[in-house]
């Protein structure tokens, strides 16, 4: 029927030359002609009734051959792949066709190949985060600031005071700020907007208005305004003196259900430690993944990156359209980008995502890490618990094959993979290895006991 010649390309694709026998091609051309005759009107004949010669005369030999080639590919593609002995990642791409003999060139993307190298030897020292007295004191000072007692005063605003201001700021003809009753603490350590803005307010009286030109700081959220000079019109409506409370039992009882200052400090220390441990663990695991990916050798076809780029475009499009309330293409034009330029910008990110995903999937396979149906059900129960909907789990059971079920399974699997990688990084044995060790230890202890305590036959 056909013969397949295979060439493996550096792009991790296979280029197949499929040469069909003349008899096979003749039969396909007859079927193609009948199909064409059923789809078009040939003068003098009912649809599907025209002879081959008339169809050939009406549409041309090249059209029949093209249709025949497409039919042959559809009919024989699984056999072609089997004959070529390739493992495809996705559908092949038609590249070229020669008619005598009928030869089709098909480029087939191949399944990725991942070699994790000696990943079991990955080690990364774990450093337990500590909490300093200074960090606790910083939080206590912040609590003092939040619970300051405010008293209206008649004097000009000083550092440490709090002022109520109406602010209008413009750049050219554009109004970028127009807000009233803004609370501003005059602080040099944590200046509102910028140190220059605080300096402009110091010395102002209630009901006083001042105009000043200031450069917008690099820390503001709106990227387009960073470093831009703006004209400010500021009116102080009230000056308030701030009296900070003492750090004592009274403050502790005010900020929470604490009876003493010591209990408050212990709670602060515990919260800081938990936050630092969470951040440290996240950073630790990220570094482990980087090591795992760096050790691995990964080859994959261009189609995998293209598919991932499609995912990134869809994700970005949904986010931008939600945030900016405009079509994604319009947002790109405002940023001076075409879709092709955006995709090219995202290509490095797509390649990183592809390699990371392939390596972690191979790692899960190598370590036998799986997320069972029971895991998914438990994850669903935990989710309902966090939403205070635990009582609905009987009335709303999870569909394992639903989008939610698949997302929960992916979440569980990802967590298990990272847990196992962290165990390897710390040099901790797997649970199964611990069981084997315990059994071996128990067997050894039993043997020693038997040798030390002979039975009745030995005593006799």
CA distances from 32 to 28, 85, 128, 167 (A): 6, 29, 72, 76
pTM (2 d.p.): 0.74
Q: Which residues contact 19 (CB under 8 A, 6 or more apart)?
A: 2, 3, 4, 5, 101, 102, 103
CB 212, CB 198: distance < 8 Å: no
CATH class, domain 2-111, is alpha beta
Q: What is the rounded CA–CA span in Å between residue 19 and residue 111?
A: 24
Domain layout of the chain by residue ranges: 2-111, 149-243
Q: What is the pLDDT of residue 388?
A: 87
* 177 phi, psi to nearest 5 deg: -145, 135
Q: What is the pLDDT of residue 44?
A: 85
Per-residue pLDDT of the chain (460 residues; tens, 9 = 90+): 899 999 999 999 999 999 999 999 999 999 999 999 999 988 888 888 899 999 999 999 999 999 999 999 999 999 999 999 999 999 999 999 998 899 999 999 999 999 999 999 999 999 999 999 999 999 999 999 899 999 999 999 999 999 999 999 999 889 999 999 999 999 998 899 999 999 999 999 999 999 999 999 998 888 889 999 999 999 999 999 999 999 999 999 999 999 999 999 999 999 999 999 999 999 999 999 999 999 999 999 999 999 999 999 999 999 999 988 899 999 999 889 999 999 999 999 999 999 999 999 999 999 999 999 999 999 999 998 888 888 777 778 889 999 999 999 999 999 999 999 999 999 987 654 544 455 556 655 656 656 555 544 444 3
Topology of the domain comprising 149-243:
Chitinase A; domain 3 (3.10.50)
Q: What is the rounded CA–CA span in Å between residue 109 and residue 92?
A: 7
């Amino acid at each position: 029927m056909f013969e397949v010649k295979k060439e493996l390309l550096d792009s991790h694709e296979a280029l197949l030359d499929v040469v069909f026998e003349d008899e096979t091609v003749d039969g396909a051309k007859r079927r193609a002609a009948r199909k064409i005759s059923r789809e078009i009107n040939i003068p003098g004949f009912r649809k599907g009734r025209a002879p081959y010669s008339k169809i050939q005369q009406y549409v041309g030999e090249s059209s029949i051959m093209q249709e025949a080639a497409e039919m042959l590919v559809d009919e024989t593609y699984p056999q072609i792949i089997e004959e070529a002995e390739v493992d495809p990642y996705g559908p092949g791409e038609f590249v070229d066709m020669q008619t005598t003999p009928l030869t089709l060139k098909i480029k087939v993307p191949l399944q990725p190949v991942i070699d994790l190298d000696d990943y079991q030897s990955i080690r990364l020292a774990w450093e337990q985060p500590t909490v300093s007295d200074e960090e606790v004191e910083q939080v206590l000072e912040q609590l003092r600031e939040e619970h300051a007692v405010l008293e209206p005063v008649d004097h000009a605003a000083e550092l440490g005071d709090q002022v109520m201001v109406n602010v209008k700021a413009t750049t050219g003809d554009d109004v970028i700020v127009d807000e009233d009753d803004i609370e501003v603490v005059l602080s040099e350590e944590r200046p509102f907007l910028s140190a220059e803005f605080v300096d402009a307010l110091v010395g102002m009286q209630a009901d006083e208005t001042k105009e000043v030109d200031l450069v917008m700081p690099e820390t503001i959220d709106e990227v387009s305004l960073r470093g831009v000079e703006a004209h400010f019109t500021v009116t102080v409506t009230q000056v308030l003196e701030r009296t900070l409370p003492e750090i004592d039992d009274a403050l502790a009882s005010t900020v929470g259900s604490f009876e003493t200052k010591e209990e408050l400090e212990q709670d602060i220390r515990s919260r800081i430690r938990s936050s630092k441990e969470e951040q440290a663990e996240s950073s630790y695991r990220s570094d482990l993944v980087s090591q795992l990916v760096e050790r691995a050798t990964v080859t994959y076809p261009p189609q995998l990156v293209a598919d991932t780029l499609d995912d990134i475009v869809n994700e970005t499009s949904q986010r931008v359209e939600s945030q900016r309330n405009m079509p994604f293409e319009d947002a790109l034009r405002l940023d001076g980008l075409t879709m092709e330029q955006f995709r090219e910008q995202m290509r490095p990110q797509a390649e990183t995502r592809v390699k990371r995903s392939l390596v972690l999937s191979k790692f899960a396979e190598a370590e036998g890490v799986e997320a069972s149906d029971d895991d998914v059900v438990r994850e669903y129960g935990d989710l309902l618990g966090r939403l205070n909907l635990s009582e609905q789990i009987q009335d709303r059971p999870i569909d394992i094959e639903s989008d939610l079920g698949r997302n929960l399974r992916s979440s569980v699997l990802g967590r298990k993979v990272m847990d196992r990688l962290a165990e390897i990084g710390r040099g901790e044995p797997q649970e199964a290895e611990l069981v084997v060790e315990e059994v071996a230890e128990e067997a050894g202890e039993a043997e020693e006991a038997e040798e030390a305590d002979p039975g009745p036959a030995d005593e006799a």
